[in-house]
């Protein structure tokens, strides 16, 4: 177990280093001189020189990279050029919207997908299964931001159950905050739940065909009991993979959905930063998103080990 943990941790560290190198290269090396890029074509040489100085561009590549990473490790993401405040502060304000949104959507998607997928697998080839397969086929095809607009149209414009957008801030109370995130989370979760339910179904169906299920039935377990005690845990292994992948989609989706609901999250921040060419903000937010995805995949690896004893002895998927 310790060995498995260690190798996964090592791989986590390597992934972070590799990802930071890629981001650094794309943002700071490829556009040529970031300072003149950020200031646009009409900038005076003095302004460019001043910004170069501010961004510390005169050091060597290596020292700049190390400085950037060292800063991030200490929570210092640099200074936003347009907002004139520390990027960490900007991100801190926004992440409390985006992260709860993604997590809420993940929880919702899982809560819907598991029972639906299990019922469809248990009633394979019957009406309930066809209904689930049809509904999820449709669910996969729906773009989440369009679904979000539809929700606004129905629940905000017509029924007035929710506000059409905006975020009161957590200061206004947890309930008010959750209410503002409900429609966005539903919009994000339903298409993902469709995918997850289908994966759950097919994985469970495959597991139910395994020899050890027949063994369990030969022991006298009913079909239901054999499913619950022997199939579910084994069927979770591919499902976990998809949950890990989904988190990265949800995070990306959250960025888009924020636009529909005018939520002050990371998505709004990064799109503003792109139009304002604020590279410092862009690279920090991207790094943060990638960090989140990598950490979630690490958590998925740990979950594998919890589910599957074969992995605990240092094996690999």
Piece in contact with other proteins (CB under 8 A), picked from 27-35, 64-72, 86-94, 176-184: 27-35
Least distance in angstroms from the C-beta of 203 to other proteins: 14
Least gap, CB of 172 to other proteins (angstroms)? 25
Measured CA to CA, the distance from residue 236 to residue 206 in angstroms comes to 11
* Per-residue burial over 273-300, b = 16 or more CB atoms within 10 Å of its CB, e = otherwise: beeebbbbbbbbbbbbbbebbbebbbbb
Instruction: Among 47, 63, 137, 166, indicate the residue that binds other proteins (CB under 8 A).
Output: 137
d(CA 15, CA 304): 19
Residue 6, exposed/middle/buried by CB under 10 A (0-12, 13-18, 19+)?
Answer: exposed
Nearer to other proteins, 239 or 251 (CB): 251
CB of 45 to other proteins, least distance (A): 22
In the complex, the smallest distance separating the C-beta of residue 225 from other proteins, rounded to whole angstroms, is 7
Q: Is 126 in the site for other proteins (CB under 8 A)?
A: no
Q: How far apart are CA 304 and CA 141, in angstroms?
A: 29
Contact mark string toward other proteins, 158..197, x via CB under 8 A = ----------------------------------------
Residue 217 touches other proteins, criterion: CB under 8 A: yes
Q: Binding to other proteins by residue 152, rule CB under 8 A?
A: yes
Question: Residue 86 forms beta bridges with which residues?
Answer: 79
Nearest to 304 by CA among 249, 233, 253, 250: 233
Number of C-beta neighbours around residue 316 at 10 A = 10
Beta bridge partners of 79: 86
Q: Does 77 bind other proteins (CB under 8 A)?
A: no
> Binding to other proteins by residue 215, rule CB under 8 A?
yes
**Contacting range for other proteins; rule: CB under 8 A; set: 60-68, 72-80, 102-110, 287-295:** 287-295
CA distance 166 to 91: 18
Query: How far is Cα 227 from Cα 19, in angstroms, rounded to an integer?
Result: 41
Q: Which is nearer to other proteins, 96 or 300 (CB)?
A: 300
Q: What does the per-residue mask of binding to other proteins show for 223-262, with x meaning CB under 8 A?
A: --x---xx--xx----------x--xx-xxx-xx--xx--
CA–CA–CA angle 252, 151, 134 (5° rounding): 80
Binders of other proteins in range 30-49 (CB under 8 A)? 30-31
Determine which residue in the list 145, 162, 167, 304 makes contact with other proteins, applying CB under 8 A.
145
């Amino acid at each position: 177990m310790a060995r498995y943990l260690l190798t996964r941790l090592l791989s986590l560290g390597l992934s972070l280093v590799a990802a930071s190198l890629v981001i650094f290269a794309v943002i700071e090396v490829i556009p040529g001189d970031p300072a003149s890029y950020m200031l646009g074509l009409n900038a005076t040489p003095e302004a460019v020189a001043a910004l170069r100085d501010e961004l510390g561009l005169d050091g060597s590549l290596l020292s700049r990279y190390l400085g950037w990473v060292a800063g991030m490790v200490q929570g210092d993401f640099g200074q936003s050029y347009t907002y004139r405040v520390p990027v960490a502060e900007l991100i801190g304000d926004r992440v409390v919207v985006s992260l709860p949104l993604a997590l809420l959507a993940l929880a919702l998607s899982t809560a819907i997908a598991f029972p639906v997928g299990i019922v469809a697998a248990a009633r394979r080839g019957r009406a309930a299964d066809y209904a689930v397969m049809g509904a999820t086929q449709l669910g996969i095809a729906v773009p989440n931001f369009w679904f979000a607009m539809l929700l606004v149209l129905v629940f905000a414009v017509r029924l007035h159950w929710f506000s059409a957008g905006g975020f009161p801030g957590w200061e206004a109370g947890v309930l008010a905050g959750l209410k503002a995130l409900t429609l966005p989370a539903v919009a994000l979760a339903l298409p993902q739940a469709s995918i997850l339910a289908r994966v759950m179904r097919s994985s469970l169906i495959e597991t139910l065909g395994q020899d050890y299920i027949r063994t369990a039935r030969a022991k006298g377990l009913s079909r239901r009991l054999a499913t619950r005690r022997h199939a579910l845990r084994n069927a979770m292994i591919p499902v976990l993979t998809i949950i890990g992948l989904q988190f990265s989609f949800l995070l990306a989706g959250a960025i888009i959905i924020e636009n529909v609901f005018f939520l002050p999250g990371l998505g709004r921040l990064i799109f503003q930063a792109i139009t304002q060419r604020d590279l410092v903000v862009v690279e920090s937010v991207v790094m943060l998103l990638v960090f989140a995805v990598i950490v979630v995949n690490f958590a998925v690896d740990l979950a594998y080990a919890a589910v599957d004893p074969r992995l605990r002895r240092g094996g690999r998927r």
